[in-house]
Structure 1
Amino acid sequence: MPTTIPALPCADLDQTLAFWSSLGFTVSYTQRKPNPYAVINADDYCLHFFGLKQLAPAENYSTCLIIVPEVEHLHEQFSQHLRASLGKVPVQGFPRISRMKPGQSRFTLTDNAGNSIIFIKQSVEDAAAAQAYQNPELSPLQRAIAVAARLRDFKNDDLAAAKTLDHALVRYRDAPNFDYAQALLARIELAQALEQAQQLEQLTAQLNSLDLSPEQYQQLGL
C-alpha cells in the first residue's frame, strides 16, 4: 500500500527532537550522516525531520495535518507539557500553540523550527463551522464575527481576525446589543492572546456599558 510521509525541516535537529520529546513524543530513529534525519512517534502517527542549516523559524512555512480521534484532551496535554518546560503556554513566537475553545475541532502546534502541525478532529460540524460566514441569513455584524472566527480558528491569523472585528465594531455600532456584545467578547479574547492591554481595557469597558438582560448575560457566559 502506498504511503505518504512528509518530512519537515529544522536548523538544529537536536533542539527540535528535544522540543518534541518534552511533549511526550518518542524518538524512534536518528541519523547524522550523510544528512541529519530523525523520526518521532506518538500513538499511531509519526513525524519525520531533516536538517536544513540556517533555516529561520519565521521563514519556515512547512505544515502537516494530523487527523486524530479528539483534540481537546490532546491540546490540554500539550499545554501542560509546554507550561512545565517553558513556564508558560506560548501563543506567539516559536514555539507556540493556538488557543482552544470548547467544541473547537482543531488547533495548531508550531515547533521551535517553525513547523506548524495542525491537529484536526474531522467532522461534518468542522466543515460547517469553517463556512459559517457564508450563511446569507447573518447580519453584517454576525458575518464579521463568523469571518473573524474562521481567521482565528482555521487560519490561525489572530491579527487579521482582530482587524476584522475592529472594523465591524466601528461600522455596526447600531447593531443589537446582544450581537455587539458577542463581537466585543470575541475581540476581548483576541486582545488577551495578542497581549494588547490598552485595547483590552477599552473593550471591557465597552462591554460593561451595554444594556443586556440577565438572560443575555447568561447566554454570553458572563
Structure 2
Amino acid sequence: MDKEKLVEKNRNRSVPLFECDYNLFDHHLEFYTALGFEIIYYQKAPYRFASVIKEGIGEFGFYGNKNFKENGNRGGCYIYVPNIQEVFADLKSNLKAYYGKIPSKGIPRISRINKTAEDWRVNITDPGENTIIIGETFGDSTTLMEAEDERVRELESKFEKAYAAAYRLAYSKEDFLAARNTLEVAFHKFTAGLNSDMLFKAKVLQAEVFASLGQKKQAKGAIREANEIQLTENEKVQLYSFYERLREINEDINTN
C-alpha cells in the first residue's frame, strides 16, 4: 500500500460493525451492492466477515452470527451528509437498476426523504434489520428537539398533538403501526373544528403509513379522501410539498 493510501486508511474515522444471519450472509451483502456499495473485504472462514464502502457515505463491516434468528443483535448508525438529495437520488437509482423497483416496505427497505425537527433524513433497513439513517442536519439535534417538544406542548388542538406524535413515530422511529393507531384515534375523536389544511396533511401522513404497512386498499382510501378536501388556492400553494408526497405515494402503490 502506497503512502497516500495508508494516510487515508489511518485518518480519523469510524466503521460500524453489524451482525447478520450467517446463512444469509451473501444475501445481506447483495443488498448493499444493490445500493451501490463496493465489497472491499470478504471471508467465508474461519468466520464470515465482510466490509463494504461507498463514497459519500462510508464503510460498514458485517459478521455472520449462526444464532442470529434466536439471539442476534440489531444495530444502527447515523451518517451525516451535506447533500442528502444527491445521496438519496443515487441510492434510489442504484436500487431501481438492480431490483427493477424501489424496496419501500418490508425487509429490506429504504424510505423517502423525510423532514423531521432535526434534519432531512433517509432510513435504510437492511436484511438483518439494522437501521442506517442518512441525514442532513438543521443544527444541534438536542436544541432542535427541545424546541419541537416545547412547540408540541403549547399546541391547544388535541388533533395537532396526535398528528405531531404520529409524524415522529412514522418518520423518526419508523413505528408505522403505532403511527397508524395514533392517527385512527385522532380521526375518530378530535376532528371537530379542524382546519382543512391540517386535515389534508394528516390524510397524507395516513396514506403513507398505510402504504408502508402494505395496506394498499386503506392507502388508496386515504389518498382519495385527501384529494376530496376543499382547499383554497393559497393553501394549495403552501401545501405543495404534501401534494408531491401524495403523488409519490400513489405512484408507489400503483407500481409496486
Give the TM-score normalised by structure 2: 0.74
Q: 2:60 aligns with which of 38, 47, 64?
A: 47
What is the one-letter code of the residue matched to 1:41?
I
Q: What does residue range 77-92 of structure 1 map to in structure 2 within 5 Å?
A: 77-92=90-105
Checking the alignment, whether the CA contact within 8 Å between 1:108 and 1:118 is kept in structure 2 is yes
By relative contact order (CA 8 Å, sep 6+), the higher-ranking structure is 1
- Compare 123-132 and 68-77 and name the one that shifted more: 123-132
Checking the alignment, whether the CA contact within 8 Å between 1:60 and 1:114 is kept in structure 2 is no
The reply on whether 1:187 has 2:206 as its aligned counterpart is yes
Q: Secondary structure at the match of 1:40?
A: strand
Partner of 2:159: 141
| Cα distance change on mapping 1:92 and 1:206 into 2, 3 Å | closer
1:107-129 CA deviation, whole Å, 9 max, x = no partner? Answer: 21122232221112233276636
What is the one-letter code of the residue matched to 2:180?
A
TM-aligned CA deviation for residue 155 of structure 1: 0.5
What is the one-letter code of the residue matched to 1:10?
C
Checking the alignment, whether the CA contact within 8 Å between 2:196 and 2:231 is kept in structure 1 is yes
Which structure: greater helix fraction?
2
The reply on whether 1:15 has 2:27 as its aligned counterpart is yes
Instruction: Give unpaired runs (5+ residues) of structure 1.
Output: none
Q: What does residue range 197-212 of structure 1 map to in structure 2 within 5 Å?
A: 197-212=216-231
Q: 1:61 aligns with which of 68, 74, 88?
A: 74
Q: How many residues align?
A: 222
Q: Secondary structure at the match of 1:106?
A: strand
Q: Secondary structure at the match of 2:66?
A: coil
Partner of 2:168: 150
| Cα distance change on mapping 1:218 and 1:120 into 2, 3 Å | closer
Note the aligned Cα RMSD (angstroms). 2.9
What is the one-letter code of the residue matched to 1:121?
E
- Compare 160-169 and 135-144 and name the one that shifted more: 135-144
Instruction: Give unpaired runs (5+ residues) of structure 2.
Output: 1-10, 244-256
Sequence identity percentage: 28
Question: Could you list the runs of 4 or more consecutive aligned residues of structure 1 that deviate by over 6 angstroms after TM superposition?
Answer: none
Q: What does residue range 81-120 of structure 1 map to in structure 2 within 5 Å?
A: 81-101=94-114, 105-120=120-135
